[in-house]
């Protein structure tokens, strides 16, 4: 009899634990979204293959923006869950950005190497319009800072080049989403840098100040060139040779000394 009572007692405890009510009526003032970064990629694949890879293999993204007409946007991973899109990555002292970012993959074949050189594929304007609308929606909900809306090449410049030189970052700037170097200010500063170009250490310091992970060796090594290429591809896509020059210096100067509004 005693054994039966004990079993009934423990069963009652376990039953109570299983139905414990969580009170959600009070919400703490000190909180914010776990999402700090928004990372843009191209898939380097056609649309059917992009969907298959991102939904059935070891990589994923929160969103996939198609290139069909009308443009379809797939939500492949809930924003509250981690997607495997950033890999080994860093920005402004943060690393392993999968855990703190939302990833948007954009269907685009990337590039083809030809005897005449590398040819990049353009992004249809309707696709870019959907990307901008999606970015605006995500930013509004998570309050992502403009300087934390980045390309895969920004956060992994030693191994990634997407979304590439054909991606129109300037349109995101015009939409008020990302910082952009003011053309007038760049033009004013260029003669100073043409007269006396800073050394490699200066470029490494300024790139690091902006957020890139860059060596601080004072040597124009391959790693530093890759970071320069990532920066130039984004802000000066007509020439991204990885060479430190007056225009790149002026753009870095303007960006790093702009008045931040947020």
Backbone angles phi, psi at 117, to 5 degrees: 125, 180
Give the pair of three-digit tokens for residue 194: 């043409």
Strand order in the sheet with 63-65: 73-75, 63-65, 101-106, 37-42, 149-151
User: Does residue 14 register a pLDDT over 70?
Assistant: no
Which class in CATH covers the domain with range 37-174? alpha beta
> Could you tell me what percent of the chain has a pLDDT over 90?
87
User: Does residue 118 register a pLDDT over 80?
Assistant: yes
User: Tell me: the pLDDT tens digits for 147-182?
Assistant: 999 999 999 999 999 999 999 999 999 999 999 999
Q: What is the DSSP string of the chain?
A: -HHHHHHHHHHHHHHHHHTPPPP-S---SS---S--EEEEEE-SS-HHHHHHHHHHSS---SEEE--SSSPPEEE-S-TTS--S-S-S-EETTEE-GGGGEEEEEE----EEEETTEEEEPPPPHHHHHHHHHHHHHHHHHHT--GGGEEEHHHH-TTT--TT-TTS-HHHHHHTTSS----HHHHHHHHHHHHHS---HHHHHHHHHHHT-----SSS--HHHHHHHHHHHHHH-TT-------HHHHHHHHHHHTSPP--
Q: pLDDT category, 122, cuts 50, 70, 90?
A: very high
User: Does residue 64 register a pLDDT over 70?
Assistant: yes
Give the domain 183-256 fold: Muramoyl-pentapeptide Carboxypeptidase; domain 1 (1.10.101)
Listed in sequence order, the residues at least 6 apart from 13 whose beta carbon sits closer than 8 Å to its beta carbon are: none
Tell whether pTM > 0.75. Answer: yes
Distance (Å, rounded) from C-alpha 201 to C-alpha 38?
A: 29
Q: pLDDT category, 76, cuts 50, 70, 90?
A: very high
To the nearest whole number, what is the mean pLDDT of the chain? Answer: 93
User: Tell me: the pLDDT tens digits for 177-224?
Assistant: 999 999 999 999 999 999 999 999 999 999 999 999 999 999 999 999
User: Does residue 39 register a pLDDT over 90?
Assistant: yes
Give the pair of three-digit tokens for residue 230: 């990532």
**Domain segments of the chain as ranges:** 37-174, 183-256
Q: What residues act catalytically?
A: 105
User: Does residue 137 register a pLDDT over 50?
Assistant: yes
Q: Contact 75/63 with Cβ under 8 angstroms?
A: yes
């Amino acid at each position: 009899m005693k054994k039966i009572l004990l079993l009934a007692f423990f069963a009652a405890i376990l039953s109570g634990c299983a139905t414990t009510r969580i009170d959600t009526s009070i919400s703490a003032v000190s909180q914010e979204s776990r999402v700090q970064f928004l990372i843009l990629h191209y898939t380097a694949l056609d649309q059917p293959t992009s969907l298959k890879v991102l939904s059935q293999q070891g990589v994923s993204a929160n969103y996939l923006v198609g290139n069909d007409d009308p443009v379809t946007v797939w939500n492949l991973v809930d924003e509250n869950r981690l997607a495997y899109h950033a890999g080994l990555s860093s920005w402004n002292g943060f690393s392993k950005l999968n855990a703190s970012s939302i990833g948007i993959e954009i269907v685009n074949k990337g590039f083809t190497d030809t005897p005449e050189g590398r040819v990049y594929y353009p992004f249809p304007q309707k696709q870019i319009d959907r990307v901008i609308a999606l970015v605006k929606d995500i930013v509004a909900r998570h309050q992502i800072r403009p300087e934390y809306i980045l390309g895969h090449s920004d956060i992994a410049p030693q191994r990634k080049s997407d979304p590439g030189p054909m991606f129109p970052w300037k349109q995101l700037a015009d939409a008020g989403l990302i910082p952009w170097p003011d053309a007038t200010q760049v033009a004013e500063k260029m003669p100073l840098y043409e007269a006396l170009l800073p050394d490699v250490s200066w470029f490494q310091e300024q790139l690091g100040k902006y957020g890139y992970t860059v060596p601080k060796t004072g040597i124009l090594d391959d790693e530093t060139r890759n970071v320069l290429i990532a920066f130039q591809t984004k802000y000066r896509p007509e020439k991204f040779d990885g060479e430190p020059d007056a225009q790149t210096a002026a753009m870095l100067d303007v960006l790093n000394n702009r008045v931040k509004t947020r």
